[in-house]
């Protein structure tokens, strides 16, 4: 809340409305959730449409040891 000018403006506006600091923080958290949720859903949809990469193994595979 210290550096971002739009946030400072929002806090000043809500304070002028008589809101408590805890209520202002709650509103800011809800705003952040509304902004990030569509991005998380898009990321999950993209991840679901692509197969997961195979995990990295540090030991050689058995097929390469048998040769």
Let me know: does 27 contact 14? Beta carbons within 8 Å: yes
pLDDT averaged over the chain? 84
Higher-pLDDT residue of 55, 32 = 32
CA-angle at 16, arms to 18 and 13, nearest 5°: 120
pLDDT at residue 5, rounded to an integer: 93
Q: How far is 61 from 39, CA to CA, in rounded Å?
A: 37
Let me know: does 28 contact 10? Beta carbons within 8 Å: yes
pLDDT at residue 61, rounded to an integer: 66
């Amino acid at each position: 809340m210290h550096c971002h000018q739009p946030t400072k403006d929002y806090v000043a506006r809500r304070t002028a409305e008589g809101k408590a600091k805890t209520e202002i923080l709650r509103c800011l958290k809800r705003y952040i959730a509304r902004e990030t949720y569509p991005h998380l859903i898009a990321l999950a949809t993209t991840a679901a449409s692509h197969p997961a990469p195979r995990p990295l193994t540090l030991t050689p595979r058995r097929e390469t040891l048998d040769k």
